[in-house]
Amino acid sequence: MKKEQWKGRVVGILSGIAPDVEPERLGDETDLRQDLDLDSMDLLNLVEAIHEQFGVAIPDADASAIRTLGELVGYLDELAP
Amino acid sequence: MTDFVMPILGADMEEGTLVEWRKAVGDEIRRGDVIAEVETDKGLTEVEAFVDGMLEEIVVGPGTTVPVGTVLARIRTIRSTGETTATVTASEPRSADGEAHVRASPAARRLAAQLGVELSSLRGTGPEGAIQSADVERAAAEASAKPKEAAVSPSAEQRKQRMRQTIAAAMSRSKREIPHYYLATTADAHPATTWIAAQNAARAPGERLLAAVLFVKAVALALREVPELNSVWEEGRGVPRDRINVGVAIALRGGGLVAPAIHDTDTLAVDELMRRFRDLVLRARSGALRSSEYSDPTITVTSLGDQGVESLFGVIYPPQVAIVGFGRVVERPWSVGGAVVSRPVVTITLSADHRVSDGHRGALFLAAVDRLLQTPEAL
């Protein structure tokens, strides 16, 4: 899967978690916590959805370190089966 | 016969819109069944029955907005002997159905006389359905506003505005009436964070825990040691509650917040508490909370740690008498065994009603929360 495809899939998940977010305004630099106002429960739901859809179980420590949408997409691009 | 009334789902809720009936006339009803859906300032709420019986009559149709306490339907209740019972509300105890039997505090009676409010028309929120001053004040405020038809569902902006108004009313009342006192302590969060990390390392994402559930559980257990903080203010005094139902503050996307109860929090294992917490957040944000979750909290726990705040002092949500705040877990210099090391710590605060407890008891409560968090495996 290409990076843009990863991004599209992740944005799809984010739209479910944060329905008020406008997908077209999301970029690589979008900060998941600051810009999208995701809290720890939202992030847990995001990690769970990624696990369900892509089979990638992001460890807590890695999830805490991921700051932006671009970093998340890059992480998945490297690790996804 | 039991009157099923528009429930009061918050200290300053004045009216609600009946959106949908989940039961039809003639249907059997069990205590706890969701029988109607109501829209309030806080969104859609499933309203449960608090009696067993049969739906006898529907009084208010879908789309109608009515004041709190308005009879929505009548339920034929059946005691174990098979007798029909006297009037009881669906969500909370209610005053009897005749003026001669109205239970009301002396202050409420005086206020009702001053404001020209008919006591028999009110639904009391005090002990055993007794009418209190707040009930009279609410009725007086509603008097000029006739029940109105909800032509269309309110827009998101209208809902947001109404919720803001509701929060404003509740918080203004709290700061006006409740003499708050404030305490804070800094707790070593190392045991809790390392325990959570170890647990989560072995779990699939869907089974993982958040530190917040340990905080909530520690608060619930500490309340057993300082039960006066697990009280509600009624009839001019703090009345301890038997059940510990911690309300968790949940921010809603787009603004506003709710603080629904996790019932019997102190009895729940951490995994079950996490499951219920997740479910509660999901339903709060999709507008699917139940009436008892709004009406039953006995204390509130709030946190702004995710937003980077290190300490917060909450405003008590009446009729509760305390609110506990948790800040962000941060690394700070900490003395361990005589050596200064970097340690994750969390600031825990208590805002409490000085009419019900003193700082000494509040301090014991915070100390208990701190102590409990040092052995997370025992929570």
Q: What percent of chain A has pLDDT over 70?
A: 96
- pLDDT number for residue B4: 86
Report the alpha-carbon distance of residue A79 to residue A58 in Å, rounded: 9
Q: How far is CA A79 from CA A56, A72, A74, in A?
A: 7, 11, 9
Write out chain A residues lying below 8 Å of B210, CB-based.
40-41, 44
The answer to whether the CB atoms of B197 and A61 lie below 8 A apart is yes
The answer to whether the CB atoms of B205 and A48 lie below 8 A apart is yes
Q: Domains of chain B, with CATH numbers?
A: 2-165 (2.40.50.100), 178-378 (3.30.559.10)
- pLDDT number for residue B277: 97
Q: Which two tokens stand for residue B256?
A: 């506003």
Distance from CA of B33 to the nearest CA of A (A): 28
Distance from CA of B156 to the nearest CA of A (A): 11
Nearest Cβ partner for B306 among A20, A39, A52: A39
- pLDDT number for residue B133: 65
Report the alpha-carbon distance of residue B89 to residue B92 in Å, rounded: 6
Report the alpha-carbon distance of residue A50 to residue A47 in Å, rounded: 5
For residues B334 and B186, is the Cβ–Cβ distance under 8 A? no
- pLDDT number for residue B179: 97
- Domain holding A41: CATH number? 1.10.1200.10
Write out chain A residues lying below 8 Å of B204, CB-based.
51, 57
Distance from CA of B206 to the nearest CA of A (A): 5
Report the alpha-carbon distance of residue B301 to residue B68 in Å, rounded: 26
Report the alpha-carbon distance of residue B338 to residue B315 in Å, rounded: 38
Average pLDDT, whole number, for chain A?
Answer: 90
Cis link prior to B333 (omega < 30° from 0)? no
Cis link prior to B297 (omega < 30° from 0)? no
Residue carrying structure tokens 């603004």: B255
Q: Residue A41: what are its φ and ψ, rounded to 5°? A: -70, -40
Residue B306 near chain A (CB below 8 Å) = yes
The CA radius of gyration of chain B, in Å to the nearest whole number, is 22
Residue B254 near chain A (CB below 8 Å) = yes
Residue of B132, B185, B212, B205 lying closest to A63 (CA atoms): B205
Task: Return the higher-pLDDT residue of A47 and B26.
Answer: A47
pLDDT in tens, A19-30: 888 888 899 999
How many of the other CB atoms lie within 10 Å of CB of B185?
Answer: 15
Q: Which two tokens stand for residue A57?
A: 């179980």
Report the alpha-carbon distance of residue B329 to residue B310 in Å, rounded: 7
The answer to whether the CB atoms of A51 and B206 lie below 8 A apart is yes
pLDDT in tens, B306-350: 889 999 999 999 999 999 999 999 999 999 989 999 999 999 999
- pLDDT number for residue B274: 97
Report the alpha-carbon distance of residue B185 to residue B181 in Å, rounded: 14
Report the alpha-carbon distance of residue B222 to residue B217 in Å, rounded: 9
Residue of B216, B218, B223, B273 lying closest to B249 (CA atoms): B216
For residues B297 and B246, is the Cβ–Cβ distance under 8 A? yes
What is the enclosing helix (H) or strand (E) of B301? strand B299-303
Residue A17, domain extent? 3-79
For residues B234 and B362, is the Cβ–Cβ distance under 8 A? no
Report the alpha-carbon distance of residue B42 to residue B257 in Å, rounded: 8
Report the alpha-carbon angle B336-B342-B347, nearest 5. Answer: 85
- pLDDT number for residue B316: 97
Q: How many domains does chain A have?
A: 1
Residue B375 per-residue DSSP state: -
Residues 2-61 of A with CB under 8 A from B: 18-20, 33, 37, 39-41, 44, 47-48, 50-52, 57-61
Task: Return the higher-pLDDT residue of A52 and B123.
Answer: A52
Write out chain A residues lying below 8 Å of B206, CB-based.
48, 51-52
- pLDDT number for residue B112: 63
- Is the ipTM beyond the 0.85 threshold? yes
For residues B279 and A44, is the Cβ–Cβ distance under 8 A? no
Listed as ranges, residues in chain B with pLDDT below 50 are 80-100, 144-151
Q: Which two tokens stand for residue B112?
A: 């009702």
**For B162, left (φ over 0), alpha (ψ -120 to 50), or beta?**
alpha
Write out chain B residues lying below 8 Å of A48, CB-based.
205-206
Q: How far is CA B106 from CA B79, B134, B235, in A?
A: 32, 13, 10
For residues A33 and B202, is the Cβ–Cβ distance under 8 A? no
- DSSP code per residue over chain A: --HHHHHHHHHHHHHHH-TTS-GGG--TT-BTTTTT---HHHHHHHHHHHHHHH-----HHHHHH--BHHHHHHHHHHH--
